[in-house]
């Protein structure tokens, strides 16, 4: 059988990108393509593809599509393990077509669909970390936690709560269609009038919780969110650690200063930003802090994030650098 399946989000990308993708797949040969349009389709398709025996499964779309497909692969492998059988090795890849494409940036994947398809098929995968999110989640991607009454979700790029979650509420599908890559900036402008602090308790590696008045909490495996914002420029998705970035509450002047340093790429040096690395993080906010995971809004309930070192073989670009920037 064909070894590579490409799951294409038909709502992602431009008409030109779709045409280039179609040509690239035809030229490459040996790739099975399936399209999805509804939330959760990518998960179901990826799970079925693992059961069918595909050895390489790609997601053509944005970070949300990649999130679904990666979750489907992991869920299928875990289900096979639960039967006592050995789960097959399945490589995950991305052909970036979406608005943000933050994961593709960390993986140094080419933006041109023709080049990205060639990388998907030809490049050797590399074992990358995932992070498991446990908490009260009610969506089409999460699964039940067998050890309790909570739910489990897997992240591959980053999770962001607080102000980022409020922005994500504003960044609707319609806004993305209208504004494209500028949708995140428009969403931020809409969310600013509702800025408020969160009485946040953060626990690192099961240590005693630390109380922080926070505006934003980011748990990163990749380096950017929100369409290229370098929130964790030194994150290494192969080091078995999560980069935790917390923006402390301050006045509007402080917020503007932190935002300017974010755009300049050096906000981790700001006195209003806390940066830690950990294997496990628990976040509880009062009021509840809305979190998105890989750009998809999830919940405002307390969450636990735990890194899974080398959990997924991922096809990366030839210029991918795992080590942290100096």
Query: Does residue 268 or residue 191 have the better pLDDT?
Result: 268
The residue-averaged pLDDT of 90-100 equals: 90
Specify the fold of 133-312.
Tumour Suppressor Smad4 (2.60.200)
The residue-averaged pLDDT of 322-326 equals: 60
pLDDT over 90 for what percent of the chain?
53
Q: What is the pLDDT of residue 25?
A: 93
How far is the C-alpha of 276 from the C-alpha of 111, rounded, in Å?
31
Maximum mean pLDDT: which of 55-59, 157-161, 215-219: 55-59
Is the confidence at residue 310, as pLDDT, over 80?
A: yes
Contacts of 85 (CB under 8 A, 6+ apart): none
Question: Residue 238, exposed/middle/buried by CB under 10 A (0-12, 13-18, 19+)?
Answer: middle
Contact of 164 with 216, CB cutoff 8 Å = yes
The CA-atom distances, in angstroms, between 100 and each of 12, 107, 134, 210, 320 are 11, 13, 25, 32, 18
How far is the C-alpha of 211 from the C-alpha of 5, rounded, in Å?
46
| Helix, coil or strand: residue 11 | coil
Query: Does residue 37 or residue 82 have the better pLDDT?
Result: 82
The residue-averaged pLDDT of 20-44 equals: 91
Instruction: Provide the residue ranges of all domains of the chain, joining segments of one domain with +.
Output: 4-125, 133-312
Confidence of residue 96 (pLDDT cuts 50, 70, 90): very high
Confidence of residue 250 (pLDDT cuts 50, 70, 90): low
Q: Residues 221, 65, 39, CA angle at the centre, nearest 5°?
A: 125
Q: What is the pLDDT of residue 193?
A: 43
Report pLDDT digits (tens) over 256-301: 555 555 555 667 777 778 899 999 999 998 888 888 899 888 888 9
Q: Which residue's structure tokens are 């050890």?
A: 147
Report pLDDT digits (tens) over 127-142: 999 999 999 887 778 8
Is the confidence at residue 187, as pLDDT, over 90?
A: no
Query: Does residue 77 or residue 295 have the better pLDDT?
Result: 77
Q: Which of 8-12, 209-213, 268-272 has the lowest mean pLDDT?
A: 268-272
Is the confidence at residue 43, as pLDDT, over 50?
A: yes
Contact of 181 with 233, CB cutoff 8 Å = no
Kindly state the DSSP code that residue 284 receives in the 8-state scheme: E
- The mean of the pLDDT values for the chain is 83
How far is the C-alpha of 62 from the C-alpha of 234, rounded, in Å?
22
How far is the C-alpha of 104 from the C-alpha of 317, rounded, in Å?
9
Is the confidence at residue 55, as pLDDT, over 90?
A: yes
Q: Residues 162, 167, 172, CA angle at the centre, nearest 5°?
A: 140
Rounded-to-10 torsion of CA 214, 219, 220, 221: 170
Q: Which CATH code is given to the segment(s) 4-125?
A: 3.40.50.10330
Q: What is the pLDDT of residue 173?
A: 56
Is the confidence at residue 110, as pLDDT, over 70?
A: yes
Q: What is the pLDDT of residue 77?
A: 95
Question: Where do the DSSP E strands lie in 221-326?
Answer: 242-248, 273-278, 280-286, 291-293, 296-299, 303-315
Q: What is the pLDDT of residue 230?
A: 85
How far is the C-alpha of 181 from the C-alpha of 187, rounded, in Å?
11
Confidence of residue 251 (pLDDT cuts 50, 70, 90): low
CA atoms within 13 A on the CB side of 173: 7
């Amino acid at each position: 059988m064909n070894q590579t399946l490409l799951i294409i989000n038909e709502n992602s990308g431009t008409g030109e990108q779709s045409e280039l993708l179609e040509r690239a797949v035809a030229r490459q040969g040996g790739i099975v393509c399936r399209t999805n349009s509804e939330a959760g389709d990518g998960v179901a398709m990826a799970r079925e593809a693992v059961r069918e025996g595909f050895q390489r499964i790609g997601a053509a779309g944005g970070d949300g599509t990649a999130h679904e497909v990666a979750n489907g692969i992991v869920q299928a492998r875990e289900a096979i393990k639960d039967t006592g059988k050995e789960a097959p090795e399945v490589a995950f890849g991305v052909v970036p077509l979406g608005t943000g494409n933050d994961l593709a940036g960390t993986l140094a994947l080419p933006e041109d669909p023709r080049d990205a398809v060639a990388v998907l098929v030809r490049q050797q995968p590399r074992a990358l970390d995932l992070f498991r999110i446990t908490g009260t989640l009610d969506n089409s991607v999460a699964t039940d936690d067998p050890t309790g009454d909570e739910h489990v979700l897997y992240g591959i790029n980053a999770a962001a709560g607080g102000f980022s979650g409020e922005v994500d509420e504003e960044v609707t599908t319609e806004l993305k269609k209208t504004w494209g890559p500028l949708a995140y900036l428009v969403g931020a402008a809409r969310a600013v009038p509702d800025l408020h602090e969160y009485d946040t308790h953060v626990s690192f590696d099961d240590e005693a919780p630390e109380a922080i008045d926070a505006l934003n909490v980011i748990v990163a495996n990749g380096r950017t969110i929100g369409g290229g914002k370098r929130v964790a420029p030194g994150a290494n998705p192969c080091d078995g650690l999560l980069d935790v970035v917390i923006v402390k509450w301050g006045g509007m002047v402080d917020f503007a200063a932190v935002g300017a340093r974010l755009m300049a790429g050096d906000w981790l040096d700001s006195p209003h930003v806390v940066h830690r690395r950990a294997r496990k993080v628990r976040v509880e906010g009062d009021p509840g802090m809305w979190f998105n995971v890989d750009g998809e809004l999830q919940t405002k309930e307390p969450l636990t994030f735990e890194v899974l070192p080398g959990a997924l073989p991922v096809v990366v670009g030839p210029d991918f650098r795992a080590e942290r920037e100096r």
